């Protein structure tokens, strides 16, 4: 597999000089279809057997725990706090139970692939030929109960970034930041900015001006709660919010944040409006607090299906911080709002920052801004008085005309255009099957 040149540029040529010839260890498809890549897995992981693995603090080593037959990380200690590091090794700890692999109840290659997938989601740099892989099998277990008591997880090795690498990284890692008329005001924020930039680079994210322009142009947003879609391609845009805050903390109006991942890997059929979950809140200062949420919320889930639980996240955030003066939603324009019928739960204006609006504005967010008396902000513009414009039939955004539908919702006039007409299904309550008569109704404030 060819080397991805853009990644080398973003991380700094010196940082990756030692691995210019290294390739991605596990190609695309290997983790989703491990049976077809059995030979690769077998050749990659030398196996050692010990009676019991004891997780100890070792120099330049971090231990992440999965639990028995699980691939979800139970702690989020990577990367090491305050350090710029390069991954060097991965040791995955299993139990050898039953003693004969043919009797194993859990598919070994599937579980191994899922644990690797979780690791590479945490930090894609681990998926490299420059990283050493191994497996440790614990043998001190004669039944499943004994196996469950033993440690299951990963021992991750790293080394600090050298001075010459750090200099190059600082100059090249995310050069767009140097053009901003702001620098961190404290040493803590300087370290925070580097962490945020590194996270954004890991997500292969290249900045645009959407988030920064919105906060720059609205210094009146004070004591603000920012609710951020933390799924899939939104990690970079959400990171920009915290990056802005770290660069302007003295005058930033951001006081609280809420990150939502649409259900913590919950199956789609179980995502009931008002009860989907996957919403995590934090104060915005010190800036280390929201940064700690980045990987935690990401590891809990990445959304799964396309629609998101935006309004449940807004309600949960408002419930956590009821005294917030402003509520700002950073949303994915390409995703529908699954729980739009919870609109009546919102009791204040919502300012919506929309990402990826090149193919038109998603009318659900227009309606959210309109019905709450809020505003809409995107890369090349913003909109405040939606009521007046729709009232005199002059609502035109990026060449697309929007009108009121017979049901009383703003929708694209051109039903065949790129205006996300498929989201109209979420303006109506879903049909209830006979078995769903006792289905929970969404609550506006969750005080249970």
pLDDT tens column, 31-65: 888 888 888 888 889 999 999 998 776 788 989 99
| Triad 445, 384, 281: Cα angle to 5° | 30
Residue 267 placed within a domain: yes
Domain shared by 297 and 353, yes or no = yes
Residue 442 placed within a domain: no
Residue 170 placed within a domain: no
* Top-ranked range on mean pLDDT: pick from 6-10, 87-91, 124-128, 262-266: 87-91
* Top-ranked range on mean pLDDT: pick from 142-146, 236-240, 441-445: 236-240
187-202 vs 235-247: helix crossing angle, rounded to 10: 170
Domain shared by 155 and 182, yes or no = no
- The mean predicted confidence, pLDDT, of the chain is 82
Residue 319 corresponds to which tokens in the numbers above? 């419930």
Confidence label for 337 from pLDDT (cuts 50, 70 and 90):
very high
- State pLDDT tens for residues 225-252: 999 999 877 988 999 999 999 999 888 9
User: Which of 164, 195, 223 is the endpoint of a domain?
Assistant: 164
Q: Picking from 14-23, 193-202, 292-301, 347-356, which range would have the lowest pLDDT averaged per residue?
A: 14-23
Residue 33 placed within a domain: yes
Cα–Cα dist 331/313, whole Å = 11
Burial pattern 34-48, b for ≥16 Cβ within 10 A else e, equals beebeeebeebeeee
Cα–Cα dist 251/13, whole Å = 35
Domain shared by 317 and 425, yes or no = yes
Domain shared by 215 and 86, yes or no = no
132 has pLDDT over 60: yes
User: Which of 164, 190, 215 is the endpoint of a domain?
Assistant: 164
Confidence label for 423 from pLDDT (cuts 50, 70 and 90):
confident
User: Which of 143, 164, 185 is the endpoint of a domain?
Assistant: 164
Domain shared by 202 and 347, yes or no = yes
- State pLDDT tens for residues 15-34: 333 333 357 889 878 888 88
Q: Which residue has the higher pLDDT, 349 or 302?
A: 349
Domain shared by 102 and 190, yes or no = no
Residue 111 placed within a domain: yes
Cα–Cα dist 212/113, whole Å = 38
Residue 443 placed within a domain: no
E strands in 249-390: 254-260, 279-283, 326-332, 350-355, 375-378, 381-383
Residue 275 placed within a domain: yes
Domain shared by 145 and 202, yes or no = no
Q: What is the pLDDT of residue 27?
A: 87
Residue 212 corresponds to which tokens in the numbers above? 């920064």
Beta carbons of 7 and 96 less than 8 angstroms apart? no
150 has pLDDT over 80: yes
Q: Which residue range forms the structural domain that includes residue 415?
A: 175-436
Confidence label for 442 from pLDDT (cuts 50, 70 and 90):
low
Residue 169 placed within a domain: no
Confidence label for 420 from pLDDT (cuts 50, 70 and 90):
low
Confidence label for 172 from pLDDT (cuts 50, 70 and 90):
very low
CB 76: neighbour CB atoms within 10 A? 17
Domain shared by 124 and 187, yes or no = no
Looking at the structure of the chain, the number of domains it has is 2
106 has pLDDT over 70: no
Q: What is the pLDDT of residue 2?
A: 31
Domain shared by 40 and 102, yes or no = yes
Domain shared by 142 and 191, yes or no = no
Residue 392 corresponds to which tokens in the numbers above? 């005199």
173 has pLDDT over 60: no
179 has pLDDT over 60: no
- What's the rounded mean pLDDT across residues 73-88? 73
Q: What is the pLDDT of residue 1?
A: 31
DSSP class of residue 211 equals: H
Domain shared by 113 and 184, yes or no = no
Domain shared by 156 and 261, yes or no = no
């Amino acid at each position: 597999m060819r080397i991805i040149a853009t990644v080398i540029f973003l991380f700094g040529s010196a940082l990756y000089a030692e691995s210019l010839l290294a390739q991605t260890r596990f190609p695309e498809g290997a983790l989703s279809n491990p049976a077809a890549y059995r030979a690769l897995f077998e050749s990659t992981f030398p196996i050692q057997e010990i009676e019991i693995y004891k997780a100890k603090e070792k120099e330049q080593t971090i231990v992440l725990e999965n639990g028995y037959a699980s691939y979800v990380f139970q702690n989020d200690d990577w990367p090491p706090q305050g350090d710029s590091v390069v991954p060097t090794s991965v040791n995955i700890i299993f139990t050898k139970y039953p003693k004969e692999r043919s009797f194993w109840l859990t598919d070994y290659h599937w579980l191994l692939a899922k644990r690797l997938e979780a690791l590479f989601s945490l930090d894609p740099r681990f998926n490299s030929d420059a990283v050493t892989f191994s497996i440790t099998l614990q043998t001190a277990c004669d039944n499943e109960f004994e196996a469950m008591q033993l440690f299951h997880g990963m021992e991750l090795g790293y080394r600090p970034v050298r001075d010459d690498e750090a200099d190059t990284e600082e100059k090249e890692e995310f050069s767009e930041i140097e053009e901003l008329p702001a620098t961190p005001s404290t040493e803590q924020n300087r370290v925070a900015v580097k962490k945020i930039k590194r996270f954004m680079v890991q997500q292969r994210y290249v900045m645009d001006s959407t988030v920064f322009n919105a906060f720059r142009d609205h210094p009146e947003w004070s004591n603000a709660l920012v609710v951020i879609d933390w799924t899939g391609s939104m990690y970079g845009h959400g990171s920009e919010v915290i990056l802005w805050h770290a660069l302007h903390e003295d005058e930033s109006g951001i006081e609280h944040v809420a990150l939502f991942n649409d259900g913590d890997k919950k199956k789609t059929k179980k995502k009931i409006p008002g009860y989907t979950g996957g919403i995590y809140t934090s104060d915005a200062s010190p800036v280390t607090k929201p940064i700690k949420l980045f990987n935690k919320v990401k590891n809990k889930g990445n959304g799964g299906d396309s629609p998101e639980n935006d309004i449940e996240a807004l309600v949960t955030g408002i419930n956590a911080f009821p005294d917030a003066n402003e509520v700002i939603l950073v949303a994915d324009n390409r995703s529908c709002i699954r729980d739009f019928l919870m609109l009546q739960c919102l009791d204040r204006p919502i300012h919506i920052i929309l990402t990826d609006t090149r193919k038109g504005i998603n009318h659900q967010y227009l309606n959210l801004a309109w019905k709450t008396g809020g505003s809409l902000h995107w890369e090349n513009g913003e909109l405040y008085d939606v009521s007046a414009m729709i009232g005199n039939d002059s609502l035109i955004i990026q060449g697309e005309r929007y009108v009121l539908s017979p049901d009383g919702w703003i929708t694209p006039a051109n039903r065949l255009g790129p205006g996300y007409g498929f989201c109209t299904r979420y303006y109506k309550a879903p049909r209830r099957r006979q078995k769903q008569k006792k289905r929970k109704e969404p609550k506006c404030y969750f005080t249970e």
